[in-house]
Structure 1
Amino acid sequence: MSSFSPKIHPQVQLPHYKLDHAGVEYQPQSIDIIVCIHNALPDVQRCLASIREQSSLPYQLILVDDGSGDATRVYLDELLSAQPDILLLRNATARGYTCAANQGLAVSHGDVVILLNSDTIVTPFWLERLLACAQSDARIGLVGPLSNTASWQSIPKIEERGDWASNPLPLDLTPAQMANRLGATALHLYPRLPFLNGFCLLIKRAVLLSVGYFDEEHFARGYGEENDYCLRARQAGWELAVADDVYIYHAQSRSYSHEARKQLAEAAGQTLVAKHGQEIIDQGVAFCRESRVLDSLRYRAQQLLTRWDFIAQAQYQWAGKRMVFILPVMEAGGGANVVITEIRALRRMGVDAQILNFEHHRVGFERSYPELDVPVIYSPTDFGIPDLCMNFDAVIATANNSVSWIAPLAKRANAPILGYYIQDFEPYFHVDKAARHRWFWQSAWLRRRWASYYFRRHPDFRAAWLSYLQIPDLVCFTKTEWTRQEVLRQVKRNCHVIGASFDLDLFCPRRERSTDSPLVITAMVRPSSVRRAASRTMQVLRAIQHRYADHVRIVIFGVTDEDLKAVGLPQDFAYENLGMCSSARIAALFGEADIFVDFSTFQAMGLTAMEAMACGMAVIVPQFGGTDSFARHEENALVIDTTSYQNCYDALVQLIESPQRRVSIMTQAHQQIVQHSPERSAYGMLRRLFEKS
């Protein structure tokens, strides 16, 4: 990895911020926008029109006409007559981009200056969001957006047929629409880069005062001048950031032909090497190419259109439908998190999706979800639930006990559609000793035999079992094929698979890989659930820490220190315990970690492993259950028989001692997991509920 040390900061709260309706914060500052122009009139017209239409903050527009032909000159003269507040500079003959940019910089006085190519189209809230990124950290000196073609800032691809990718938008999608979709799901990571593309470059006034202008002597015609400036700014102590919530369209190669552009770029590259040396350039290029944070932005961009296709189709078919999910929980948990994430997706689809919980859960629930953006109905008792649900089109149970609460609705006239969101085969929650063994999970026949035994002897098992049969026309849907098969085999009821999903807008990488710091290994430890194999997990982690000592850092969560002591789990090794964590805290941990292990005996889906994969981690998951809905052994995960201590230990050793294998698994996991969006599952849910009605 290169010696460039990036920083990725969440959006910082600064005093006296204004909050705009794009959801970003900024301090008012004077802004100069400099556009250098050399012919290509249609592009110039589109660019200037977009600035006028999409810029809601005050700004000074500075145009530098660098020897354009008559048509462009006449247009600019007419524009100046109509808008006399524009500052127009003019060169009789073309001096080249670098000189033209310096002319604009020399007359600018703004607190921030934005150099904008004339073949760009800016989009809604571009100024606010660029400014918010610049102000998120005083050390940031330069800011650039994402684009279709902007070298390392390109999404969703950076290369194509040996050249920079052009990433054309679909014919039915405008730059503004693309920007709105990107901004709606942006993570506001503001990743740091060693180089920024000059097609749209925000520069703070303090940088101009400390670094100066572009190097006209070496890069008079452009191409390379921004790389040189980035290197000089970094040498002066400034950081370079990408505003990952800004998308600006770039046509490219308009003022110069494609071949001329390549020749200029090659010549500039040689000059850059002569001035700064090959090593620092190679380090920067290697960082940009290997950045898992940038990879994450690209992978998510690849799924962006698909996610919004689901939203658009659902809006067309089911906008205005009303749904309520019976979610009787007091504390945050994986199952509740999935439901809430998909309710948010449903609401983006125009569906009025709400939660129904109990009044006596309110304090704990609102403490667990302090910023919940979903409407919640609180019922004093379960007896009042049917009356509260009659005005909805669909009522969804999310746990076996909630099925009985909505069952009376089935007997009412004009009753809503009743559904059951089955995330697990809940009778197995009450199977203890047998579920510890491999043979129990290898044989569906044995599970049926044991189910018969538990049905007769365990009332909670029996209640969970019967919940699947309590309502004749109940629409059942589940996350994985394994759960569907289990319900079908055990109770002869079919379910619809809507697919595994997780909060794609929360879980992401937050740092780059490092070969210098210890490997961060994480695990959820939950002694209250036998199938989570807390003892085996802690034993493996202890052995790993004793073997590798300072080369690894063990971090666990999901259990208090008191509970660890109470159940006698191993504690005689170096580890950190984060205790009970919110999703945001787990996302922060995963964003900086390397390996996640789930040594549970089985997983109906494996939500936490999916979240870890989305953060660019290598994961180990159990082969028994539904992890095959997203995990592929030796490809994007290690999928093993976790009932064996030795298997768990050996798999973790392999990931620690084989960096190339680990990185390959990380990369594939990161790239593939983003297809499991909540919109995909929400759309499948709507189809199962409403297509027959």
Structure 2
Amino acid sequence: MSYLKKGNSAFRNQQLKEAVNLYEKAAEENPAVSFFSDFNIKLARRKIASTSFSFPSKRELVSTNEVLGQNLVNNIEYYSKNHPAAPYLLNHQLYTVDIVIPVYNALEDVKRCLESVVKHTDNFRITTYIVDDASEENTTAFLRSFCKQHKGFELIEHKKNCGYTKTVNDGLKASKSDYVVTLNSDAIVTKGWLQGLVRCMRTGDRLGIVGPLSNAASWQNVPALYDKNNQFAVNELPHDMTPNDMAELVLKVSNHLYPRVPFVNGFCFIITKEVIEKIGYLDEATFPTGYGEENDYCLRAAQAGFELAIADDTYVFHAKSKSFGHEKRKEYSKKGSASLKAKHGDEKVNSLAGQIRDMKVFQNIRDKVENGLAFRNTCKEYSDPLQKRVLFLLPVSGGGGGVHSIVQETIGMRRIGVKANIAVPQKHRHKFLKVYEDVEDREDIFLGFEDTDLIDISGGYDVIIGTIYTSMKLVEKISQVNKEIIPAYYIQDYEPLFSEPGSNSWKEAYDSYKLLPHAILFAKTDWICEKIFDVHGVKVKKVSPSIDHDIYHPDVSAKAKAGLSDKLVMSAMIRPKTPRRGAERTMQFLKNLFDEMNENIHIEIFGCEESDPRFQKLERDFTYHNYGVLTREGVASILKRSDYFVDFSDYQAFGRTGLEAMACGAAVMITKFGGVEEYAQDNSNCMLCDVFSEAYGRFDFNRLSSVMKKNAILTASEYSVHKASVTILNALA
């Protein structure tokens, strides 16, 4: 048996170190197989690293192409924030967060705080620094035991009481992360709190400090600002609500305004590393007991050019600590206020306090929360999804994966008796009729519209669904006139990625998710849902994807009928007009593969015409067959005779063609970034590739096995048009 085969056997048996040794010997013995063995060596080493990975408490910067590690429980890969795939990743995969919790007695509050922090990491890489300011013995003993039992928690102990501000500073000085949160030990954090704070922080390049809404955080109070004594209220939760319930309500009613403010309450205070590097730490000499130190820090950050904001879609409960009694707090607060004015001047402090007091936006935020509380228990009338009359709005000129989804699912709805149509521009209607000439009732499905008659057309429907960001202004216009119609948005991709940040098209795409606050948003992959929530704080319903099994299915005789039985058939979609689809790297990969295999491989591509000048610039110095822009049937005929299909896009929001290739019985190599994990399982039904690594194009026939093809066909069989149609109707109901 050759070293290469022995290496493959060791790899399958999870004898990874032995596999590496055998692959190295294979390359030395026969340089011709190094094409395969080099990739397998890197894969084995990556698997060795992932199985020995432990949750890190310290982070260091790595090169932009390196994966930082993997959360083996949640199967999350973490990356450097400068990784080339960063635009397609989520905040928790890119940014690190430290939490600093100063503790002085009040053990029961501390326990509740730490329990909430353990539960609600929002999948970020976190180190929590608990700084014990010489608490009593029972508190200190608990903290020591807790930190031993929980990874990611580090205890810093003071031998004597140093005061709040120095205690926080000791934690800040230990932090090495992108962001650090100072969190009072009487706070209870909620699901999504870190996601919300970081989301808010990422909305402005100059943002340096952000805080959440709370029940007791001065100007950040909800629902009431003042109590009956005209003092800042400590809002009690309704008897039937938990902090998480309130956080969910705050998110639901929020307009995600992220108002800029002069001060942020210090009970929960997220700071960027850049702020600390520029202005240093809290002023422990002037404010040794706290009370004023966070306002001073805010003023210093603003003077250094940073902005401050409130994440009005995020809520953290504040119990108001028992560390000090009420009278002692009043005394410290009075001293802190005097110290702040002495340092920065009465006029400046009073002016900024008046500015935040007069910000009407906070009353609007409180009103929304108050209304949400008032109406949270109202019952909604049941809506029969099968009685909905549905109009998809598709103001584009032609096809694509997203368009195929809409057409398939419209047909699926009509099959079960739902009135469903697609409105397309009248001038392009003939193109849709041509592309979908295999659909019997296409004349009834596609409604041509002019801008002047779209409102009249929509009057016959209960729901109008935008399908691209440019359609949402039309949906808004229709819903303003037809008040009874339900607006919705079928999100096919994260479309701000398509335009230059800051451009008009980027802004329109970016704003489309919040253009209609009461619209129903839904998407076919978890990645789309998570990306929009991560960036915009808007919840998107998940529906099932679909493929048309009448067209995409295996055909065991396809290769023979094409006269390709003795060839390995490789196919790829090449779309050079869309840079993120990786046409350049795909053609280079195909060229390298052809040079290795010559007459043993038959390469077929589709998606662009040979005469396209953008295609002409790509690597073409090898034998391939270009079938140009195809209908669905044309694509299916290629996939049915393909042994392998490759998709080296930067990312895929779904990767429809990959799933269609799997349905046709092809083994698939596809980018790992984006939403392909909706169906793609590495080493089980496909091969996932890091297209930004040097080894992305190392082709491994052993991994793309017959077992993988079998699994691929089984996976694809789970995605039906009927299921997708029903899940959309359910989302609309």
Instruction: Report the TM-score, using the length of structure 1 for normalisation.
Output: 0.48
Instruction: Report the TM-score, using the length of structure 2 for normalisation.
Output: 0.45
Question: Larger relative contact order (C-alpha < 8 A, sep ≥ 6)?
Answer: 1
